[in-house]
Amino acid sequence: MTDDISTEELVGRIEAFFNRKVTKITAPGGRGRASLRVYFGQDTIIVTNRPDQSRNANEALVLEQLAPLCDHVPRFLGRDGPLLFQSDVGTQRLSVSIQKAPPDVQERLAREAVEAIFAYQAAASRTDLLQRLPRLGVASSWMDKVIGGPSRLAARLPMPAPALDRDAVARRLADPRTRFIKWDCRAGNAATGADGRMRWFDFEYAALRHGAEDLAWLVADEIWPVAPQVMFALIRAEQARTEGNGTDAYMSYLALFTTFHAVQRILLILNEVKARGWLPMSKVLGRDDVGVTPRLGMRLCETGKWCADFDPLTRPLIPLFEAMGAKFAATIAPPAKA
C-alpha cells in the first residue's frame, strides 16, 4: 500500500464507502505490498492502492467485465479515488496449499488452476476487452530481452551462448493469435475460497497475446511442484475441451514460451541471490517471494530442460539448463575437499 494515505484516512474512506465499521486491517502479502485485507467483523474485502494508478484502472476494467461472466476472479466492488475494492478470494494461496498435498490432490489443484485460466480467458472473449486492452510484447526491446535470455544466462555460468536461430524464435513468439492474458500466473496469485472454488487475482498486468503465456507462468513457476509432463497433459486436455482445435500448435507455442520464461525466472533467482542471499522456503511462501532456494532453482532447470526438448528450435538450450541445474546442486552439496 502506498504511503500517500494514512491509516486513519484509509479506514475513514473505507467506512464511508461501505457504510460499515472496519474492525481490522492486515497485509496478506506483507508490508510494502499494494493490497490489504479489510475486516468488517467476520466479513472481509481487499483494498488495493498501487503506485501506478494505471494498473489499478486496468484491473478495475478487467474485473468489472469478467466477474459477471466468470466465478474464477474477484468481484469488482468499486473505486474511491486511488482505492480499488474487490472481493476477498480467500486465504488459502495455491502456492502454499499445494506444497504438502499428496500427489492426487496436487494434480486436482493443478487441474482446477488450469481450468480457471481457460475459463477467464473464455469469459474475456465475450466482452470488449479484446478491443480495449493493449497487445503485450510488440516492442522489439521486449522480444530482444526474451530471446537474449539464454545468452545472458550462459554468461553467468560461464559457458558459450547456445546456438539459437533467433529469427525463427522471434517469428514463433510473434504468433498472431490473440487472447486475453492475465500475465503473472504464479501460484501465489491464486487462492481457494471457503466455497472450494479456485480464483485468480492481481489482474493489473492484463493484456492480449497468444493466451498460452498464462499457463507458461504457472508451469515455470519455480515453487510449482507438479511436473511439466503432468501439466502439459492437463493443459492439452483442457485446451482441446474448451477450444476444440489447434491443440498441437497451441502446445508447441506453450513449450517454446515456457522454455524462454524459465530462463527469465532463473535469471531473476540469480539476481535475487546476489542482492539478498538464499532464503528459507518458509519465507519464500510466506511472502509470496521469488523462489530463492537452490532446490527450487534445480526444479526450474528440470522444467526448462523438459520444455526445451519439445522442439528442435529450443534443444540447443538443454545443456544450458543442465549446467545451471548442476550449479544449483553444487550450492546444496559443495564438492568434497581433495
d(CA 38, CA 35): 10
Domains and CATH numbers, the chain: 7-87 (3.30.200.20), 92-332 (3.90.1200.10)
Q: Which three cell numbers stand for residue 267?
A: 535469471
Q: Which three cell numbers stand for residue 103?
A: 500427489
What percent of the chain lies above the pLDDT cut of 70?
96
From the list 43, 52, 84, the residue with the least C-alpha distance to 67 is 84
Per DSSP, helices labelled H in the chain are: 7-18, 53-66, 94-97, 103-124, 129-132, 140-147, 149-156, 166-173, 213-219, 228-242, 247-276, 281-286, 294-308, 318-332
* Residue 173 and residue 135 in contact, taking contact as beta carbons nearer than 8 Å: no
- Which residue is associated with the grid cell 532464503? 279
Question: What DSSP state is assigned to residue 209?
Answer: E
pLDDT of 1 reads 57
Could you report the per-residue pLDDT of 164-192, keeping only the tens digit for each? Answer: 999 999 999 999 999 999 999 999 999 99
Which residues have CB under 8 Å from 68's CB, separation 6+? none
Sign of torsion over alpha carbons 172, 178, 182, 186: negative
Q: Is pLDDT at 31 greater than 90 in this prediction? A: no
The tens digit of pLDDT for each residue in 262-304 reads 999 999 999 999 999 999 999 999 989 999 999 999 999 999 9
Buried b (16+ CB within 10 A) or exposed e, 70-82: bbbbbbbbebeee
Question: Distance (Å, rounded) from C-alpha 102 to C-alpha 262?
Answer: 25
Q: Is 277 left (phi over 0), alpha (psi -120 to 50) or beta?
A: left
DSSP 192: E
What 8-state DSSP symbol labels residue 337? Answer: P
Which DSSP string do the residues of 72-93 spell out, in sequence order?
A: TSPPEEEEETTEEEEE---SEE
Confidence of residue 34 (pLDDT cuts 50, 70, 90): confident
Query: What does the pLDDT read at residue 243?
Result: 94
pLDDT of amino acid 337: 61
Residue 36 in grid coordinates:
490489504
pLDDT at 338 over 70: no
Q: Over 90: is that where the pLDDT of 334 sits? A: no
pLDDT, averaged across the chain: 95
Task: State the Cα–Cα distance between residues 108 and 177, nearest whole angstrom.
Answer: 29
Question: What pLDDT was estimated at residue 242?
Answer: 96
Whole-number pLDDT of residue 28:
83
What would the pLDDT profile of 120-142 be if each residue is shown by its tens digit?
999 999 999 999 999 999 999 99
Print burial letters for 244-260: b (CB count within 10 Å at least 16), e (below 16): eeeeeebbbbbbbbbbb
Q: How much is the pLDDT for 113?
A: 99
pLDDT of residue 166: 97
186 grid coordinates: 504464479
Q: Buried b vs exposed e over 154-163: b needs ≥16 C-beta within 10 Å?
A: beeeeeeebe
Please give the average per-residue pLDDT across 108-119, as a whole number: 98
Q: What pTM was computed for the model? A: 0.95
